[in-house]
Amino acid sequence: MMMATAELIAALPDAALVIGADGVVSAANAPAQEALQIPPQGLIATTLIRHSGFVNALGEARQAGQPVTTDIEIQGRPPRQFSAHLAPIGKGPEILVVLRDLTREQRIERMRSDFVANASHEMRTPLAAIIGTIETLQGPARNDAKARETFLETMLLQARRMKRLIDDLLTLSRIELNEHVRPNARVDLLDVVRQAKSNLMALAKESNVDLKTEASRSTLVAGDADELLQVTQNLIENAIKYGGGGGAVEITCLEQKGSGVLRVQDFGRGIAEDHIPRLTERFYRVSTQESRARGGTGLGLAIVKHIISRHRGKLEISSQLGKGSTFSVHIPRYVS
Ligand code: ADP
């Protein structure tokens, strides 16, 4: 009988263990051994899971002969949260414990609430500026024509910032909604680059940056042309905004091992290594002040990352302080 129970729990995908009448673990499957860092059998369950909720649940499951579910925390670094389901096997006294790891779910939940807090904060800043300006215009600056002009300018600037933020948030949510559907139209990256270049010519000129596309070749990928244009524009815009000090931005598309590659390189100040892995997080910026001053929302690279992931591609970022940065996007080739 014992043998059969061990075999049965070995076949379960979740962490599972069996506790005998003496309170000793008589079998633990591989996920349970891994999650709790224990041998397959022989330990006393309540010293293994030192959690009052678990001890109570075990007593209750035994006494009532009914399944009991409780949330528990396993000590360790970092501590992990599980939902534990304890059920008597047959008429008992053995108890089957199935553990479901809640760590990932809780992390996602935390990310979601962080996101709401960040987004609200980002909206409140321009809104507070607009309200402050209106109050000044109603009060002290009521009859000051010159101040009125300046204040209206400020209000327009802040209102535009809010609009950009809302547009970016909507874009992000639309892409996320469709992330599981892979776009597969035939797109030539060269056309995308040409379009992006023409859209950003004015910004480049204003910033004294030369946009170069000499090495680009026709490169067919499977994708969505509008979304790939957005990726290209976001990367070129960043290169101009943050790397424009180098005077030039080079955009190249080429084929490489079954993928189309789009590369945007600047020769500006570069990005310190510890920032690089975090750049695609929502609202992450190296300098919030600079990003705001340049009209950034902190969402551009998050949008880039989600579009690329929808295309089953990858983003590579390499940078050297003082030398510049290169953002490379790899998208699977179009197969007819
Ligand atoms: P933002 O709206 O702030 O531009 P992004 O998500 O597009 O948001 O970029 C996040 C941050 O990454 C920027 O605020 C900037 O600090 C940094 N960054 C992006 N591209 C570059 C670049 N080419 N050179 C230097 N820093 C960059």
Q: How far apart are CA 273 and CA 266, in angstroms?
A: 16
Task: Kindly state the tokens that stand for 296.
Answer: 């950034």
* Same-domain pairing of 218 and 169: no
- Distance from C-alpha of 243 to C-alpha of 300, rounded to nearest angstrom: 15
Supply the CATH number for residue 203's domain: 3.30.565.10
Final residue before a domain boundary, out of 120, 148, 181: 181
Query: In the structure, which protein residues have their CB atom closer than 6 angstroms to any atom of ligand 1?
Result: 234, 238-239, 242-243, 266, 268, 271, 279, 285-287, 291, 296-302, 325
- Please tell me the distance between residue 43's alpha carbon and the centre of ligand 1 in angstroms: 52
Q: Which of residues 101, 136, 158 is at a domain's end?
A: 101
| Amino acid at residue number 327 | F
**What is the residue with the minimal CA distance to atom 27 of ligand 1?**
242
Q: Please check whether residues 154 and 203 belong to one and the same domain.
A: no
The domain boundary, picked from 181, 206, 222, lies at 181
| 320, amino acid identity | Q
78 upstream amide cis, omega within 30 of 0 = yes
In the chain, the number of structural domains is: 3
Whether residue 109 sits in one domain with residue 28: no
What is the CA(242)–ligand 1 centre distance, in A?
7
Most informative mutation of 301, 315, 323 for ligand 1 (most atoms within 8 A of CB): 301
Residues 80 and 162 in one domain: no
Same structural domain, 266 and 311: yes
Domain with residue 88: its CATH number is 3.30.450.20
Domain that holds residue 232: 182-336
- Closest ligand 1 atom to 168 CA: 2
CATH number, residue 121: 1.10.287.130
- What is the 8-class DSSP label of residue 286? S
Pairing between β-strand 95-101 and β-strand 185-188 as defined by DSSP bridges:
unpaired
- Identify whether residues 196 and 244 lie together within a single domain: yes
**277 in the same domain as 212:** yes
Same domain, 268 and 336: yes
Are residues 23 and 67 both part of a single domain?
yes
**Are 327 and 189 found together in one domain?**
yes
User: What is the chain's pLDDT, residue by residue, as a tens digit (336 residues)?
Assistant: 445 788 889 999 989 999 998 889 999 999 999 888 888 888 888 877 888 888 899 999 988 889 999 998 887 777 888 999 999 998 878 999 999 988 888 888 888 898 999 999 999 999 999 999 999 999 988 888 898 999 999 999 999 999 999 999 999 999 988 888 999 999 999 999 999 999 999 999 999 999 999 989 999 999 999 999 999 999 999 999 999 999 999 999 999 988 999 999 999 999 999 999 999 999 999 999 999 888 899 999 999 999 999 999 999 999 999 999 999 999 999 988
Residues 52 and 115 in one domain: no
Same domain, 139 and 186: no
Residue with tokens 């609009």: 163
